[in-house]
Amino acid sequence: MSSKTNKVCTRCVMDTTDTEILFNEKGICNHCVEFDDITSKRWFPNEEGETLLKARIKLIKREGKGKEYDCILGLSGGIDSAYLAVKMKEYGLRPLVVHVDAGWNSELAVYNIEQVVKYCGYELHTHVMDWEEVKALQVAFLKSGVANQDTVQDHAYFSSLYQFAAKNGVKTVISGGNIATESIFPGSWHHSAMDAIHINAINKQFGDIKLKSYKPMSILQYYLFYPYIYRMKTLRPLNFMHYDKTKAMQYLIDEIGYKEYGRKHGESVFTKFFQNYYLPKKFGYDKRKPHLASLINAGQISREVALAELDKPLYEEKELLQDIQYVAKKLDLTVDELNGLINSSGVSYSNYKNWDSRYKILKKVQAKVEKLLGREVKQYA
């Protein structure tokens, strides 16, 4: 992507690769302003947080009395969910622990999941996705040229988690989502992974395979059924404690024998490839920027350290060549085919059918339902 003059926020490291970014007179971006005005007000990395968290957990335990589980927790093998699982064990919760295997787990992720489960004494429920379906959908997404190539995995994760919860009568999702490391994300970069209309449209145009076990969750299920009729709630405990990812990892290494992924290795090989190569190459998006911007606003690193981090390469050349071969082979593509799909120009999600128009109607219906019920329900409480 050609960028004219790249303007960078004077407080964080977000820049004009976010086409919707705005700067105030001090050169501070809208993400930082939003952090100060809104996000920081629902963030409690202090004693108050502990009191609030204890109260919420007490409620969850009361609701779950007599049931096999009192909440559900998705385990990816990453630090956030691993640390969360260990902490929730300390708080005495009895989660239904689910891992969704979409075919891209690194060996280390499998090992780390085992360590967590062993340490906590939890029983692990692994949902293995139908690989032929996942593969066909992923190739269809690559052919579509849209930015959010993690849609196929992310959507599968949430819809499986919700289905597991409903099947077991669990009403609370315990999520590792957190303000400290991921409060900032530019909306202009990605379309929601929860949009089933979008997934079906791309499958129809580029894949056209029958989805049997991969069941996209509809907009009605996501915005009306689960929050209002089923009354699913989400709790993000990491927002109620001092969560520092580096310290959390050290704790996991010392306590449970967790192993570090290394600087650029993640729990999913595809996600790593997508974030460190596909997005920067095709769209000019560097996901390290919103992550580092979040850490700066959370007071965990300085802007200087973040800028130095961004100067490092996204991939070592040898590792990149290896990963291109690995991803191509796994998706039954030749290396040339995969490179062709990456080197062609990016396409906006809005070129394909999506939920945008319905979303507006849904939001109005939601507001009416909330008025009727006299309560507010948030997808991301």
Contact by Cβ (8 Å): 84, 115:
no
Helix, strand, or coil here: 191?
A: coil
Q: Which is nearer to Zn ion, 32 or 252 (CB)?
A: 32
Question: Which of 244, 252, 250 has the alpha carbon at shortest distance from 86?
Answer: 252
- Total of residues contacting Zn ion (CB under 5 A): 7
Instruction: Determine the interface stretch with Zn ion among 24-32, 51-59, 267-275, 336-344 (rule: CB under 5 A).
Output: 24-32
Least CB distance from residue 185 to Zn ion, whole Å?
A: 12
Q: Which is nearer to Zn ion, 32 or 98 (CB)?
A: 32
Q: How far is CA 363 from the centre of its chain?
A: 22
Instruction: Determine the interface stretch with Zn ion among 1-9, 56-64, 90-98, 166-174 (rule: CB under 5 A).
Output: 1-9
Q: Which is nearer to Zn ion, 28 or 52 (CB)?
A: 28
What's the per-residue H, E or C state across 352-366?
A: CCCCHHHHHHHHHHH
295 in contact with Zn ion (CB under 5 A) = no
Least CB distance from residue 295 to Zn ion, whole Å?
A: 12
Least CB distance from residue 3 to Zn ion, whole Å?
A: 17
32 in contact with Zn ion (CB under 5 A) = yes
193 in contact with Zn ion (CB under 5 A) = no
Q: Which is nearer to Zn ion, 14 or 201 (CB)?
A: 14
Least CB distance from residue 298 to Zn ion, whole Å?
A: 13
Which residue from 29, 85, 93, 152 is in contact with Zn ion, where contact means CB under 5 A? 29
Cα separation, 145 vs 343, whole angstroms: 10
Q: Which is nearer to Zn ion, 305 or 335 (CB)?
A: 305
Cα separation, 301 vs 313, whole angstroms: 19
298 in contact with Zn ion (CB under 5 A) = no
Q: Which is nearer to Zn ion, 25 or 47 (CB)?
A: 25
Write the DSSP string, 88-141.
Answer: HHHTT--EEEEEEE-S-B-HHHHHHHHHHHHHHTPPEEEEE--HHHHHHHHHHH
Question: Which of 174, 172, 158, 157 has the alpha carbon at shortest distance from 84?
Answer: 174
306 in contact with Zn ion (CB under 5 A) = no
Cα separation, 140 vs 151, whole angstroms: 11
Write the DSSP string, 13-27.
Answer: S-BTTSTT--B-TTS
Which residue from 8, 12, 129, 248 is in contact with Zn ion, where contact means CB under 5 A? 12
Residues that bind Zn ion (CB under 5 A): 9, 11-12, 14, 29, 31-32
